[in-house]
Amino acid sequence: MLFITSNISIADTEIEFTAIRSQGPGGQNVNKVSSAIHLRFDIRASSLPDMYKERMLKLKDHRITKEAVVVIKAQRYRSQDKNRAEALQRLQTLLQSVTHNPKVRRPTKPTKGSQLRRMDKKTQHGKKKTMRSKPSLD
């Protein structure tokens, strides 16, 4: 079980792991051992509440495919178990970011005092610029 919040969790059967060979340098170990992990999590087929599914699909994240599948590749460690734990941690943080309710923005208007200060500043700046100009002969 992967716990997202105190009352939301995901069963292990909803997450698919695939062991693949890591990229990059590492000697002969890289060519022989499949230590990297591909984690796949289907958003639409998951047991998440519909509200969280919609928020996940609205995210602009490169790890979410067009088919609504989260694909996470973990290959930092030489151990498959550590890479699996890191992939699960990344999925958990991604899902936790969706569970927070966004703060509702209420549009406000500038106060009368702030408008007056802004206009005073503009006139002072204009006077400063006119003082920089050459004096006219007329």
What is the separation of C-alpha 118 from the centre of its chain, rounded to a whole number of angstroms? 37
Q: Is the pTM of this model over 0.85?
A: no
Q: Within 10 A of 26 (CB to CB), how many other CB atoms are there?
A: 14
pLDDT digits (tens, 9 = 90+) for 41-90: 888 888 888 888 888 888 888 888 888 888 888 888 888 888 989 998 88
Q: Within 10 A of 112 (CB to CB), how many other CB atoms are there?
A: 8
110 band by pLDDT with thresholds 50, 70 and 90: very high
Higher per-residue pLDDT: 34 or 85: 85
Average pLDDT, the chain: 84
Q: Which amino acid is at 113?
A: G
Distances (CA, A) of 103 to 4, 38, 100, 106: 20, 34, 9, 9
Domain boundaries, the chain: 2-99
Q: Which CATH code fits 2-99?
A: 3.30.160.20
